[in-house]
Amino acid sequence: MIRHLKRPSAAASNFHDEAVTSTVQNLISEIEKGGDKAVRELAIRFDGLDRENYRLSKSEIDACVNSISRQEREDMEFAQHQVRNFAKAQLETMHELEVETLPGVILGHKHVPVDSVGCYVPGGKYPLLASAHMTVLTAKVAGCERVITCAPPFKGTPAPLIVAAQHLAGADEIYALGGVQAVAAMAVGTETIEPVSVLAGPGNAYVAEAKRLLFGRIGIDLFAGPTEVLIVADDTVDGELVATDLLGQAEHGTNSPAVLITNSERLANDTLSEIDRLLRILPTAKIAGEAWRNHGEIMLCDTREEMLAEADRVASEHVQVMTSDDDWFLNNLKNYGALFLGARTTVAYGDKVIGTNHTLPTMRAARYTGGLWVGKFLKTCTYQKILTDQASALVGEHASRLCMMEGFAGHAEQANVRVRRYGKRNIDYATAVEPSAVEKNLEVTK
């Protein structure tokens, strides 16, 4: 039986807001009509930054890179090295394919990099430079030729740490633009910004809605909502560790769900006490505390099977497992954005440095998709070729009849003309090909 020691005080929602949709639609329309002029007006209004050209020059980029400390650069490069190495390892699992499915019939697929990618790096509330590693680097490992990136200014000027991260990750163009104006400019293009084929990266509700509305004319990584964390734990860990990990993700925003599923009442009560204590000393307690009050949840289960079922139902963005048998959950969990196994790791490692990507599905989207990875920037494209006249005629005979079953005479003729040429058969126009003697013999020997 499942009991709740704490329920969310705010009603669950999909975080969709019609007012946000209307606002974003209007802003996108302004940029479609006004181009660079509209982008500048919106940048002044929302970012507080007025420039004739929002693309940073080489000297500006160099100044940002040179302004960071040696330790900051070393830490940044360490994180990027981990992200790059894991993306490369993922890429190595993606094999191209060519197979002869029938004598003389060759089918295959290739992984073709997307030509251009626009990466958004949030930076209004916090300068989230890690998003540069996760998007720009991953697209570069995939082989994308042009990777551009936008981030809002921080306190009225391009954020040095973000710019340094964007540059070190390999960005080809860097823009000091935030919000809808950044996303729309990359997607639809302006006089000075060539549009991209795919948008990637997290953002606030307005950025997320802009990506949703633009999806179709461009590709996106995924639909993203507020950050989420789910901890599955038993009495092998203590309340301080669990509380720290819950609040560490709750500080992302006041609408960030933080959930504990446990079979230990002692751990549940200990966690509640520790959250109260930590909220008195955490510098970001105003945000984390409101998130916990509104969207925090503790569920007490009797068995690990119940814990598993509830975790799969929640389908959280981040699922942290700290139990006596973490591998059992690894082998049985189905719905999660990223999994963090054991007390030695934590969501913050994945967010910032360990190498797995932090752009992940939210709002239960983990039921049907994983997160951003190198494969998101690759198109798996198939091809076919036929090497012999006999193979073309054989496939053509079947294709002719199948097309006529559907009433597609023009399709049938594409097959028929090849049966006439390569099979040397006299086929009436726009009719189904009768089985040949060779085909009948093949059917008999199957």
* Structure confidence by residue, pLDDT tens digits, 256-299: 999 999 999 999 999 999 999 999 999 999 999 999 999 999 99
Domain match, 118 and 132 both? yes
Structure tokens at 231: 């901890």
pLDDT of residue 444: 42
pLDDT of residue 127: 83
Structure tokens at 364: 């239960």
3 lies in some domain: no
69 lies in some domain: yes
Contact 397, 423 (CB under 8 A): yes
Domain that holds residue 235: 226-371
State phi, psi for 120 to the nearest 5 degrees: -100, 130
58 lies in some domain: yes
Domain match, 178 and 231 both? no
Contact 220, 187 (CB under 8 A): no
pLDDT of residue 445: 45
CATH of the domain at 212: 3.40.50.1980
Report residues of the chain scoring pLDDT below 70: 11-15, 437-446
Domain match, 165 and 23 both? yes
Contact 188, 217 (CB under 8 A): yes
Residues designated catalytic: 317-318
pLDDT of residue 156: 86
Domain match, 86 and 209 both? yes
Domain end point (choices 193, 221, 249): 221
Residue carrying the six token digits 């009797």: 302
Kindly tell me the burial class for residue 215, based on how many C-beta atoms sit within 10 Å of its own C-beta (0-12, 13-18, 19 or more).
Answer: middle
41-58 b/e with 16+ CB inside 10 Å = b?
A: ebbeebbebebeebbbee
Question: For residues 65 and 105, what is the distance between their CA atoms, to the nearest angstrom?
Answer: 54
Question: For residues 22 and 118, what is the distance between their CA atoms, to the nearest angstrom?
Answer: 23
Which among 384, 380, 383 has a CA at the least distance from the CA of 112?
380
Number of domains in the chain: 3
Domain match, 87 and 214 both? yes
Query: pLDDT per residue over 285-342, tens digit each?
Result: 999 999 999 999 999 999 999 999 999 999 999 999 999 999 999 999 999 999 999 9
CA 399 to chain centre: 39
Structure tokens at 53: 């050209």
pLDDT of residue 440: 59
Domain match, 280 and 427 both? no
pLDDT of residue 10: 79
